[in-house]
Amino acid sequence: MPRLTRLTPDTAVGAARDLLGDLVSRHGRVSDMVATMAHSPAVLGGYLQLSRAMKRAKLDRKISERISIAIHEKQGCDLCLEAHIDAARGLGVDDDEIERARAGTSEDPAIAAIIELGLQVYREPTAITDEQIERLRGAGYRDREIADVVGVVSLNILTGAFNLVAGLKPGVVTESTY
């Protein structure tokens, strides 16, 4: 059972009401995570801004989904893990590669290296070396894609931590229209 309640445009107040009202008017519905994040307009607004910004990332979406899978496997957010596995499948990532991502790697050495970077940004960014960044450049990644990894990891830390604190889990989503 969720620890925090969902808000609606009718139950939210102030900036949260405005944010939810805008989202519902544009999309017809919002997820449980978004409805629950509305308890903190600062958190919801930050999530929405970072989420929109990361849609402009140059890192290939199939790669960012694999990084997300690796992060959530470690973080333990089953709701996020399920969502990113579904997204990866929707992009054509096969089940073997999804399992490798869950283990923090890939059959492709270049993708394995960028997943490893993502996990290091998550666990211990001080362990990242100049040589590691140079190897990523040698594998064809540009500075923008390397920087995008930090954004992908940051967004996943935010959503996973929020869902874990709020007690949101797969199978108990009550996504609905208002």
Is pLDDT of 171 > 90?
no
Q: Cα dihedral sign for 120, 126, 132, 137?
A: positive
pLDDT digits 0-9 by tens, 4-46: 999 999 999 999 999 999 999 999 889 999 999 999 999 999 9
pLDDT at residue 175, as a whole number = 46
Co-location of 22 and 108 in the same domain: no
In a domain, 130, yes or no: yes
The total of other beta-carbon atoms located within 10 Å of residue 58's CB is: 10
Co-location of 145 and 66 in the same domain: yes
Co-location of 146 and 91 in the same domain: yes
Co-location of 121 and 138 in the same domain: yes
Co-location of 41 and 120 in the same domain: no
In a domain, 6, yes or no: no
Co-location of 31 and 99 in the same domain: no
pLDDT digits 0-9 by tens, 143-157: 999 999 999 999 999
Q: DSSP states of the chain as a string?
A: --SS----TTT--HHHHHHHHHHHHHHSEE-HHHHHHTT-HHHHHHHHHHHHHHTT--S-HHHHHHHHHHHHHHHT-HHHHHHHHHHHHHTT--HHHHHHHHTT--SSHHHHHHHHHHHHHHH-GGG--HHHHHHHHHTT--HHHHHHHHHHHHHHHHHHHHHHHHT--TT----EE-
Co-location of 119 and 73 in the same domain: yes
Co-location of 159 and 73 in the same domain: yes
Domain count of the fold of the chain:
2
pLDDT at residue 176, as a whole number = 45
In a domain, 8, yes or no: no
CB neighbours of 31 closer than 8 A, spacing ≥ 6? 173, 175
Co-location of 112 and 140 in the same domain: yes
Phi, psi torsion values for 176, nearest 5 degrees: -155, 170
In a domain, 19, yes or no: yes
The tokens describing 157, both together, are: 């830390």
Question: What value does the mean pLDDT take over residues 72-85?
Answer: 97
Co-location of 75 and 46 in the same domain: no
In a domain, 4, yes or no: no
Is pLDDT of 178 > 50?
no
In a domain, 7, yes or no: no
Range of the domain at 150: 61-166
pLDDT digits 0-9 by tens, 94-120: 999 999 999 999 999 999 999 999 999
Co-location of 121 and 149 in the same domain: yes
Co-location of 114 and 131 in the same domain: yes
The CATH number for 135's domain is: 1.20.1290.10
